[in-house]
Each structure stands twice: as C-alpha cells, then as structure tokens.
Chains A and B, each alone.
Chain A
Amino acid sequence: MPVFYGTEIASALMLGTAQYPSPAILAEAFRAARPGIATVSLRREAGGGQGFWDLVSGLGARILPNTAGCHSVKEAVTTAHMARELFGTAWIKLEVIGHADTLQPDVVALIEAAAILSADGFEVFPYCTEDLSVCGRLLDAGCQVLMPWGAPIGSGRGINNAYGLRSLRAHFPQVPLVVDAGIGLPSHAAQAMEMGFDAVLLNSAVACAGDPAAMARAMALAVEAGRAAFAADPMEARDMAAPSTPVIGKAFLE
C-alpha cells in the first residue's frame, strides 16, 4: 500500500469530501469505498464548521487538507499554516491555481510555495502537471510525493496524457505518485493504477454520480484491480495476433 512521508495508507484510493448531495451520502460513500485519505478544505466559518469537523473525524480516513482556490504563493502558504493548526497535521495538498478556466496549476508559484512550506516542516502533496522538469524541481524543493493531474479538475476526462504520466512514472520510480484530478470513471482509476501509480485522488466522479456510494465502491474495486494488475506484470501489447490455443496437435480435418 502507498507510503506517504513514512506513513503507510490502508487504501490506494483517496477521496474528496466536496459536492455530495448531503452529509449522509458523503458518509455512505466513505463507508462503501473505505478510502485511506480524505481531502478537506478551509473556508470562512458560517456556522457549519463544527458539524463538518465531526463528520470528517468519523470517516475513518486520514485527513489531507488542501489549499484549493489559492492563486498566489502568499495565499497558499497562509492557508497551509491555518490548515496545519486546525487539522493538526503537517500534510498539505498544495494547490496554486494558475488559470481560472482550466484550473491548471501555476507551476512556478507551486515550486516556490512548496519550497517555503517544506522548509517550514510541512509535508507537501503538490497538485502538479506531469512535466518532468517541474516534477524534478518539486522534489528538489522538498516534496516526497507528486500529484500530477489526469485531466483538469472536475472534467472527468480521465488520463489525458498517458505517455507523459508513464514517462513520469519511469523517471521517478522511487517517488510516490498520485494521479489527482480528472478521473471520471473506474476504468480511468484502474488505468492509472495499472501504469504503476501509487494512488488516485478523485472527488467529482463519486460525488456527482447518480449513486455516489455505489460509484465509490466501484472506484475502490477499480483501484484494487489496477494495483493488482500492475503487480502482476501485465503482458506487452502487440500489433499482430498470436494464437492462444496451441497449434500443435490440431487435427487435420480437411
């Protein structure tokens, strides 16, 4: 199972807590999938904070707070500090958004914020692209986990750049890698795991499904299947057919 900053997690599925039709359905989805990690955020307290705190405390998953919606280094670093105090964890999913329509990370600001936070004792999970140079800089900045996107957040488009992600996996064989964002279907999650990723992080695919708990369960099964498949060393694809039934011993019946 994946190990992040020295902590082994019981499941390779990481699940967000946003956009569910109700708190009860959120809890039901978590019971159905038993993800190892739950992502949460910080927002202005308007009366719901304590209730949500009680809910996430009972989910049975380790909490990973995010800096979602932050557009600058300063904003992300301040939010990370607030999250560390509130949630009592050094873990932070670092998001520094660079573009409003695609929600793609501002990778320059991301590297700068990651360096500041890592130097300050945070254990940073950077939401990044699959760019090898950017990922290398994030590791230099102190990150020990990378979370490249599959596709833009909430798009459900799956693995947009399988070649790039495969290349990233091959370049950093020892670094825990998580495909974060863009997963829409269990087949996408399975594909990421089959490629050797250590975990997948998704939210909308479950929360926005017609039956979130059933989809959560499907995602958990897909992640488990993909992980087992990678460990089983899949066969190479080939262009020509190759008979699977033995040719030798076939009767001559012309």
Chain B
Amino acid sequence: MNITLNGTPCRTAASTLSALLAERGFGPKVATARNGDFVPASLREATPIGEGDRIEVLAAMQGG
C-alpha cells in the first residue's frame, strides 16, 4: 500500500507500525506518530498501517 514516511511517498507491505519500522531498518531510539498523533512504543504493534497514512519516525537531533 502507499503511505508517506517522513514526508516521502513510499510503498510498504507492513501491516502494523512496528512491522514498518522493522521493514525500514529503524533502530530502537525513535519516536513515532501516525497521521499527526503520537503513537507510544507500546502501541506500535497494535497500530495498523492503512492506505495513505502519514507516518513520522523521529530521533534525537541537535536543538537550541
């Protein structure tokens, strides 16, 4: 299905958020949001990925 991952359109076979993270090789130190809503790590496995979803995967970065 077609989703947008970190602003980039892509196709995925993953059916859950945790499967998507594994498919894309993300490490453990990330925080996730689906369609603008925070998804805690404990809920990633139970969070389905649907057509057109916007997924954000964020990590620690430089900040002021």
Contacts and interface: CB of A to CB of B under 8 A. Distances in A.
- Give chain A's interface residue range (CB within 8 Å of chain B): 35 or more
Interface stretch (A83-91, A130-138, A157-165, A240-248): A83-91
A18 B60 CA distance: 12
Interface stretch (A2-10, A36-44, A188-196, A229-237): A36-44
Contacts of A181: 64
Contact of B6 (A39, A45, A86): A45
A178 to B, nearest CB: 13
A45 B58 contact: yes
Main secondary structure of the interface of A (DSSP, over half): mixed
Given A45-B6, A48-B59, A53 B64 contact: no
B62 A53 contact: no
- Give chain B's interface residue range (CB within 8 Å of chain A): 20 to 34
A16 B29 contact: no
A86 B6 CA distance: 17
A68 B64 contact: yes
B23 to A, nearest CB: 14
Contacts of A39: 63-64
A16 B58 contact: no
Q: Which of B6, B56, B62 has the largest count of A CB atoms less than 10 A from its CB?
A: B62
B64 A86 contact: no
B38 to A, nearest CB: 4
Contacts of B32: 82
Interface string B43-64: 0000000000000111111111
B33 A78 contact: yes
